[in-house]
Amino acid sequence: MKLKIYLSLAIFICAYAHGYSQNGLAPRDPENSPARKLTIEPGVGIHTNFGTDFLISNMVQWNPNKRLGFASYSSFNLNNVTQRDFNHIKTDYNYSLNQKFGAGTTVYSKKYSHTFFAMVGIKYTAFQETLENPNFNKVSTSISAFSPDYGMMYSLKRGWKKYFFTARFYLPLSPWLTKGAHIENIQGTLRDTALEFGMGIKIK
């Protein structure tokens, strides 16, 4: 039931964005148009948890027509890179892998294209901490876990040449909403909110 509600919301949001898009563009030289069929967009970014996570990502976007877009998003995240030795607690490793797929709609302006995606995917997180305080026994604990990853992504592209500037903003809807609409789940959602920048390559 919950999933139906979220899917309905995602469709409404896409329809809403689509409604404000231009119905048609003035005929342009295809070489000078921000409309593209297939792009690859590597990038780097951070989570908004005070910038302690570093993200390396790639998105492949396919627009079978001008308005409709599909995306495959992958990322490797090095988590908590700035604090790996604290009060005798060492982080041995801490990373996560994401793979998401999305569908959405694209709107265009002269030099820009804006795509709004509803994304669904999976996240794998692994980390290990070791307490190495000489006063106590050495204790290590490791976590490795898969978790679902749902959210909304906004993708901006600027330029119409083969290479162009991209920026992405991802707002997860988990744990807030999908795990429960309690206010205390918002911290987790904000922690995984991502902001990324990169260079896109037009394939078609």
Partner 1 sequence: MKNQKNIILYLGVLVSAILLTLLLGSCTEEEFNPGLTKEFTIQSISNGANYNIKVGLPGNYNAAEKYGSIYVLDGEENFDLVANSCEQIAKNNATQNVLVISIGYGQDRSIDYTPTKVSAITGGGAEFLNFIETQLIPRIEQDFSVDTNPASRVILGHSYGGLFGACVFAVNNKLFGNYILLSPSIWFDNEVALQLELDNRAVNKNSAQLVFMGIGEAENSGRMQAPFEALYETLRDNYTQIKLSTNREKGLDHVGSKNPNIIKGLNYYFQNR
88 lies in the site for partner 1, by CB under 8 A: yes
Rounded CA-CA distance 69/105 in Å is 6
What residues numbered 46-75 form the site for partner 1, per CB under 8 A? none
Footprint on residues 138-177 left by partner 1 (CB under 8 A) = 139-141, 143, 145, 147, 174-177
**Shortest Å distance, C-beta 142 to partner 1:** 8
Considering only residues 8-27, where is the footprint of partner 1 by CB under 8 A? 9, 12-13, 15-16, 18-20, 23
Task: Compare residues 65 and 135 and give the one whose CB is closer to partner 1.
Answer: 135
Return the C-alpha torsion angle 4, 22, 26, 65, nearest 10: 0
CB of 41 to partner 1, least distance (A): 27
Q: Which residues bind partner 1 (CB under 8 A)?
A: 9, 12-13, 15-16, 18-20, 23, 79-80, 83-84, 86-89, 91, 94, 125, 127, 129-131, 133, 135-137, 139-141, 143, 145, 147, 174-177, 179, 181-188, 191
